[in-house]
Amino acid sequence: MLTRKLKALKRQIVESQVWTSMFRHDYDDTPRNRFLQIMANVWLHLHPPKIRRHAIRVRFTWCMGGITFLLFLVLTITGVVLMFYYRPVGEYAYADMKYLEFDVPFGMLMRNMHRWAAHGMVITVWLHMFRVFMTGSYKSPREFNWVVGVILLTLTLLLSFTGYLLPWDQLSIWAVTVGTNMARATPLLGHEGPFADVVGVTPRYDARAFLLGGSVVGPPTLLRFYVLHCIFLPILASLFMIVHFWRIRKDGGISGPL
Amino acid sequence: MAEVRATAAAPAAKTKPAPTSAVKKAQLEDRVHVWPFLVRNEFICTLIVMVLFTVWSIVINAPLEEPANPANTPNPSKAPWYFLGLQEMLVYFDPWMAGVVLPSLVIVGLMVIPYVDINPKGSGYYTFRERPFAITTFLFGFLILWVTLILLGVFFRGPGWNLFWPWDRWDPHKVVALTNVDLASLDIGGTGLPFKWLGNPKIFGVELIGLTLSVLYLGVLPVVYYLWKKPTSPTLQTLGPVRYAIVVQLFLIMMSLPLKMFLRIAFNIKYVWITPWFNI
Ligand code: HEM
């Protein structure tokens, strides 16, 4: 009696105009629905509806590309939360970190997640490249996707590096100082690099000054790295990820033995 | 379907045998539904990763040190850990080389891999035997030159960028004798070898010694090897001179790091080639 009523209720809901406007197929496990689950869903249709059997083996891919992408999503979400409380200004930045840690509800958790996921993403992107190399998956027709991958690897490191400065503590400014000191030795473009006098670059007008917005790591650097970290690099990385995923499909899905 | 078309239209028809129709048919039949099989894996994987990072973030706090103070340089100042391999190279090369040229070449070198590795075998499965050179070179570069140097930088470098065991107390006053010499003035056992016997290298031209050695290493050595091996090596024949030149230059430049490490540790060599503009 009750089950019959429930069934009727379910039918009423599932056949209502609101429901059918959202969901275009039912959930029964039929081959048709398995296709539609993928094809009728904007997020899942990144996948093809069917793939070769070996491609779902964890032992083959180590899931590393997927985990890298997942961590990128985690970083985007926690990063937006942090942006609500953080001001990239010399006087405020460090205080805002303290505020996040002690006063903002779940602020510490968000900061920790963002930090550890960033470290994690650097490691997983290396492991992903390692796996792709070991399976020779960069070979024809996937050469170009490997190149896109190397760009993504570089962007991941740059994202991590620009973010490293933002807490504005001793660790961050000195790590970034050491990291950017090399730029002053850029051949031709850095004031301490080979042939610097030929080009005429000076400490205040060379590759490093361009990067830092000055001759030392100071408040202008903080603002510059903030913009790169929160706007420019994430957008660039997203664009290349779109290309990366698109190319996986266009190159015939994930590689495998003939 | 896109997959099939792309595989069939692969431009590598020259290097890779086109899949026969039997193979294509087998590929088509050995397929599984993404829903539920792949999506299920992704879901489980997501759960595990999220649980892991949540627990990690609850248990361990991200570091936050004293406020930034440009007047107080910590010793040692370390770059973020993933760049410590590059910082480690600064011990052996000047900044323009270790910090700019070599990192750029790492990126370029990685990008050209697919275009210079013409071995059609070992695509899409794990194998060592079918591509020993590629795998050995990559493992050496990645595990030894990248990962190991990072570990060295993270755990073994202390004040003054001196070596310490992880359990040592960091002594900022540790004295390490600076006994490095340049190759041209190296004097093994007072014999004047290898170059000291030439007389005052300044007069002979220190630049010439380094220049000659570099040309031998990057120019003559690969050409001799090419001419010697080409008649008997099908790999070199298909590789052709251009791709060979790219591979060999990148390979030798990569090997210049362990080479300089060896020269430093064995003979305290600082520079191999000195010029008024740059030193290597
Ligand atoms: C932000 C960084 C990256 C993301 C999010 C990403 C994501 C992915 C995903 C999800 C896949 C599907 C297969 C798998 O999970 O292994 C994949 C495949 C692939 N990735 Fe990446 N990747 C990234 C960086 C890289 C890098 C650094 C390289 C190489 C230098 C690379 C080269 C490739 C190639 C060649 C494939 C095709 C593999 C095959 O056909 O077996 N990717 N990537």
B235/chain A closest Cα distance in angstroms: 16
Mutate to test the interface with A, among B15, B28, B29, B33 (most CBs of A within 10 A): B33
Residues A182, B53: C-beta atoms closer than 8 Å:
no
- Domain annotation covers residue B94: yes
Residues 21..60 of A with a Cβ closer than 8 Å to B: which?
31, 34-35, 37-38, 44, 47-53, 55-56, 58
The whole-model pTM stands at 0.91
Confidence of residue B10 (pLDDT cuts 50, 70, 90): very low
Residues 24..43 of B with a Cβ closer than 8 Å to A: which?
27, 30-39, 41-42
| A148 inside 8 A of chain B by CB | no
Nearest residue (by CA) to ligand 1, atom 8, is A65
Same structural domain for residues A192 and A164?
yes
Same structural domain for residues A182 and A113?
yes
N-term to C-term CA, chain A: 57
Pair of tokens at residue B204: 């002979």
Taking Cα atoms as reference points, which of A87, A105, A84, A83 lies closest to residue A95?
A: A87
**For residue A123, pLDDT beyond 60:** yes
Pair of tokens at residue B157: 């470098």
Q: What are the chain A neighbours of B34 within 8 Å (beta carbons)?
A: 34, 38, 44, 47-51
- Domain annotation covers residue A238: yes
Q: Which domain holds residue A4?
A: 1-50
Please tell me the predicted confidence (pLDDT) of residue B3.
42
Number of domains in chain B: 1
**For residue B28, pLDDT beyond 80:** no
Sign of CA dihedral B36, B39, B45, B51: negative
Residues B110, A153: C-beta atoms closer than 8 Å:
yes
pLDDT, tens digit, 9 for 90 and up, residues B141-198: 999 999 999 999 999 999 888 889 988 888 887 777 777 777 777 777 777 677 766 6
Number of domains in chain A: 2
What's the number of CA atoms in the CB half-sphere (13 Å) around residue A145?
Answer: 26
A159-170 b/e with 16+ CB inside 10 Å = b?
bbbbbbbbbbbb
- Domain annotation covers residue A199: yes
**For residue A55, pLDDT beyond 90:** no
Amino acid at B152: L
The per-residue pLDDT of chain B, averaged, comes to 85
Amino acid at B122: G
Residues 200..219 of A with a Cβ closer than 8 Å to B: which?
216-218
- Domain annotation covers residue B276: no
Confidence of residue B2 (pLDDT cuts 50, 70, 90): very low
| B14 inside 8 A of chain A by CB | no
**For residue B203, pLDDT beyond 50:** no
Element (H or E) spanning B194, and its range? Answer: strand B193-194
- Domain annotation covers residue B239: yes
- Domain annotation covers residue A257: no
DSSP3 helix / strand / coil % (chain A, rounded to 5): 70, 0, 30
Determine the Cα–Cα distance for residues B265 and B259; give it in Å rounded to an integer. 10
- Domain annotation covers residue A158: yes
- Domain annotation covers residue A258: no
Same structural domain for residues A147 and A188?
yes
Q: What are the chain A neighbours of B99 within 8 Å (beta carbons)?
A: 181-183, 185
B105/chain A closest Cα distance in angstroms: 12
**For residue B20, pLDDT beyond 70:** no
Please tell me the predicted confidence (pLDDT) of residue A166.
97
Same structural domain for residues A10 and A80?
no
